[in-house]
Structure 1
Amino acid sequence: MKEITSSMAGTVFNVITEVGQSVTAGQTLLVLESMKMEIPVESTEAGEVVEIKVNIGDFVNEGDILVVLK
């Protein structure tokens, strides 16, 4: 399992992926909003999304787990 974590504190603005979806390295999984900027969170490797740990509107801190890949 590979955990995709937040690189900064912010609010989940949009969740683009869904559980069961195959993703490629560099593919945008979700978008965070911080200081009125939208920051895409990309997959670091190819895999299948097995869990999305956040919802739109959730506040996350740096290092929080956002998505789990298999």
Structure 2
Amino acid sequence: MNQIVAIMAGNVWKIVVSVGENIEKGQDVVILESMKMEIPIAAEASGIVKEIHVREGDFVNEGDILLEFE
């Protein structure tokens, strides 16, 4: 199972995918907010979203798992 992790600490501003959805490499899946900037997090590979580990409004640290796909 592949994982997408936070590249920096911040708040989960928006989750733009849902469980069961097909995602493509380079597609934005989560948008973090840090220091009043929006930071899009993109998929590094294509696959199907299996589990989302965060909710909008959650605080995450760098390296925290945001979602898993295969």
TM bucket (normalised to shorter chain) is: over 0.9
- Match in the other structure for 2:19: 19
Asked if residue 7 in structure 1 is aligned to residue 7 in structure 2, the reply is yes
What 5-or-longer segments of structure 2 have no aligned partner?
Answer: none
Which portions of structure 1, spanning 4 or more consecutive aligned residues, are displaced by more than 6 angstroms?
A: none
- Match in the other structure for 2:33: 33
In structure 1, distance between residues paired with 2:4 and 2:13: 16
Deviations 1:6-60 (A, max 9, x none): 0000000001000000000000001000000000010000000000000000000
Where in structure 2 are the equivalents of 1:40-59 lying within 5 Å?
40-59=40-59
Q: Give the count of matched residue pairs.
A: 70
The percent of aligned pairs where both chains have the same amino acid is: 49
When the two chains are superposed, the root-mean-square deviation of aligned CA atoms in Å is: 0.3
- CA drift at 1:63: 0.2
Using structure 2 for the length normalisation, give the TM-score.
Answer: 0.99
In structure 1, distance between residues paired with 2:7 and 2:29: 14
In structure 2, distance between residues paired with 1:7 and 1:64: 8
